[in-house]
Structure 1
Amino acid sequence: MVLYDIIWRNADGRSLEYCQFTFGGRRTIHDTVVGEFSGMRGTLIYEVGYHYNGSTHWAHGSVQSERGNISWTIDHEDSGIWLVNGVSAPQLTECQDVDIGATPSTNTLPIRRMHLKVGASQTLSAAWLHFPNLTVQPLFQRYTRLSYDVYRYESINSGFQTALRVDEQGIVQDYSGMWSIL
């Protein structure tokens, strides 16, 4: 089992995020975001479990904020069914990943899984946990590998795009204009 720790700071300096990736054996992301994020002030604590191929198996977490304390679960059953807070979510059927909207950590899983060559791109769908309302919806995304360590991320739904710089493990180090490594 390999542990990898990273700390990000958001661009406006109002949030810090401590994240621990576990590779091999039990594959998880453990994360805590503290500060102001996505229109909320508080703490986001979550864990993501993923399969050997890098697709999401489950994500569980909680938000403690001035709006109160809210827990959430997203589960991807082996049968392909997605459950959001225990309720079937058929709109997520085509999704492979969870994208937790307040953090760059979950961009790491598709980047590591795709093994794109420079110049190649791939489109996928993720179960997007949107903040601050904590709704989950499909988010169509495209990743394009621009160089050895830079990917372009595009949200096909909104047209948003940004550059993601990664390390040799494929872990996001810089989410251009939003998060950077300390």
Structure 2
Amino acid sequence: MKTLIWQGITYQSLEYFTLREHENYTVESKIIGCYQNQIYSVDYKLIIDKEWNILEFQIESEINTVKSKMAGRKLYDEWEINNVINEDFKNFKFIDISLTPFTNTLPVNNLQLPENTSRKIDVIYIDILNQHIKPVQQQYTRKNINEYLYENLQNDFKANVLVDQKGLVTYYPELFKKIAEL
């Protein structure tokens, strides 16, 4: 089991995160914060297989007292999200949840990139604050043992992300930093 706290720099947040390993990995996390006149809380739970493929997600959020829920599960090569199969996400292996650096761990650990190599991936992007979900393309380049260049290919956003030996983000410039760990 791994428990840690991430501080959201831009999103003025704290995340209490727990990763458990049994037959699969289970993540449970709580985030609270405020950003641009939005006070929010997020609880999410993820089920991940041993190759770091996301199998299921459940997200409950409250933004300025408005509550919402989102749930998804992978069915072979398709995704059922809120009880509807979404063809836009066929063959997608990864999700990216805004407000947390954890979902960067999924491609970091799954792709097993050698140093100085890159891979483009298709990702289900879940924008919590705007309550929006969409397909995006991202690219990860392993710069060295603990550093990856993350690129969002839709908007040219780039960041050099530092990770620990488990692939968990320790520092994501201007967005997140790990401030405590058990």
TM superposition score normalised by structure 1: 0.92
TM superposition score normalised by structure 2: 0.92
Separation (CA, whole Å) in 2 of partners of 1:132 and 1:65: 7
Q: Secondary structure at the match of 1:30?
A: strand
- Alignment check: 8 A CA contact 2:8 2:99 kept: no
Q: Equivalent residue for 2:135? A: 138
Distance 1:120 1:24, change over 3 A: farther
Kindly indicate whether residue 134 of structure 2 is the aligned counterpart of residue 110 of structure 1. Answer: no
Distance 1:31 1:16, change over 3 A: same
Bigger drift between 171-180 and 18-27 goes to 18-27
Separation (CA, whole Å) in 2 of partners of 1:40 and 1:85: 24
Q: Equivalent residue for 2:90? A: 93
- Alignment check: 8 A CA contact 2:61 2:69 kept: yes
Note the alpha carbon deviations across 1:61-113, whole angstroms, 9 max, x for none.
Answer: 10022151111112111x21111111111000131011111210111011011
Note the alpha carbon deviations across 1:114-144, whole angstroms, 9 max, x for none.
Answer: 1111101111111110132222111111000
Separation (CA, whole Å) in 2 of partners of 1:38 and 1:164: 24
Where has structure 1 moved over 6 Å in runs of 4 or more? none
Separation (CA, whole Å) in 1 of partners of 2:51 and 2:57: 16
Q: Equivalent residue for 2:7? A: 9
Kindly indicate whether residue 77 of structure 2 is the aligned counterpart of residue 80 of structure 1. Answer: yes
Q: Secondary structure at the match of 2:109?
A: helix
Kindly indicate whether residue 128 of structure 2 is the aligned counterpart of residue 127 of structure 1. Answer: no
Kindly indicate whether residue 169 of structure 2 is the aligned counterpart of residue 172 of structure 1. Answer: yes
Separation (CA, whole Å) in 1 of partners of 2:37 and 2:71: 21
**Displacement, 1:57?**
0.4
Distance 1:70 1:61, change over 3 A: same
Distance 1:18 1:168, change over 3 A: same
Q: Equivalent residue for 1:70? A: 68
Higher relative contact order (CA 8 A, sep 6+): 2
Distance 1:58 1:180, change over 3 A: same
**Displacement, 1:23?**
2.9
Separation (CA, whole Å) in 1 of partners of 2:82 and 2:157: 28
Give the unaligned 5+ runs of structure 1: none
Q: Paired residue for 2:45, among 42, 47, 63?
A: 47
- Alignment check: 8 A CA contact 1:151 1:163 kept: yes
Give the RMSD, CA atoms, in angstroms. Answer: 1.6
- Alignment check: 8 A CA contact 1:37 1:102 kept: no
Q: Secondary structure at the match of 2:88?
A: helix
Distance 1:28 1:39, change over 3 A: farther
Letter in 1 for 2:167: G
